[in-house]
Structure 1
């Protein structure tokens, strides 16, 4: 539980309005600490200005973010690739990856560049089913349970067809063959 003393001390420390120098320091500390996109940095700075206020003329946040992009502190494409690979590696589908990149403020062109291929999408579905013990990885299940597994895969961003193919696969070999079929499609 937070005591009143701690709460008032925290409030006192953050209550000073920002100025140009403090805003730049906040931005630099943020990009030094977190792998981020230009959209996430802009959102962070706007939130800080909303919380603490700003002394003087409102700053041009987009210009500050653009300066950090030019300096190489922020690389939206590298961020998008890393995020996409991480999510896909955990078994999430293309739709879920797209949502995460859109929420991070990644432009549509970059999102299209890093979109997973058919083979990668199928491999992610395989990985998700394996991790969650769906379909051939979980043993015999009834039709109702299969429907729930398909729904979980769709919520994880996989297409309905991919989820159904994975959950209804007879065994792990047929699931592996389904993934391998897409290798030549790209």
Structure 2
């Protein structure tokens, strides 16, 4: 059976761009930066037909003012979820930066990320059976691999080394 050619998608105008933006924030938790990037991509893909130049940043800013987007709440939720997975502060702040959370919002979230750093490291060590959660004392090469894994997960070098050098069953209360 011959393939029916697809009808070309018409270029966007201001109202079409706003409909796309509204549909996006309706479906996904997002940030102003991500919404702007999404809208720019759609303009590149479909083209623009209005006389006035497209400005997705204005739409994202208006949606934030209306409460459809809250960068700080998104960042807090994302940081909390990453900490529950055992990821460290460096990895969390990198993910938030990539999501477009900067400035005041990032500064407001930073103290809470630091507060969860030890708990996240312990969670990571428990999941990977590192240090006090290991079944037996790790030899030096294995311990270095474990420290490397913790560093890649975003944990501070000193904290990673302290946890990895602990013996199985050691008390974790001295980490605070």
Q: TM exceeds 0.5?
A: yes
Structure-2 residue corresponding to 1:153: 150
2:12 matched residue in structure 1: 18
Deviation by residue 1:54-77 (Cα, 9 ceiling, x = unmatched):
112321212111110111000011
The structure with the largest helix share of the pair is: 1
Q: How does 1:22-171 map to 2 (within 5 A)?
A: 22-56=16-50, 57-115=52-110, 116=112, 118-140=114-136, 141-171=138-168
- Structure 1 unmatched runs, 5+: 182-186
> Structure 2: how far apart are the matches of 1:110 and 1:47?
25
Rounded Cα–Cα distance in structure 1 between residues aligned with 2:49 and 2:143: 59
- Work out the CA distance in 1 between the residues paired with 2:107 and 2:169: 31
- Superposition CA RMSD, Å: 1.9
Normalising by structure 1, report the TM-score: 0.85
Question: 1:184 maps to what in 2?
Answer: none
Aligned length: 172
Flag structure 2 segments of 5+ consecutive residues without an equivalent: none
TM-score normalised according to structure 2 size: 0.90
Question: Do the aligned residues in 1 keep the contact of 2:89 with 2:114 (CA within 8 Å)?
Answer: no
Q: 2: distance between equivalents of 1:117 and 1:26? A: 33
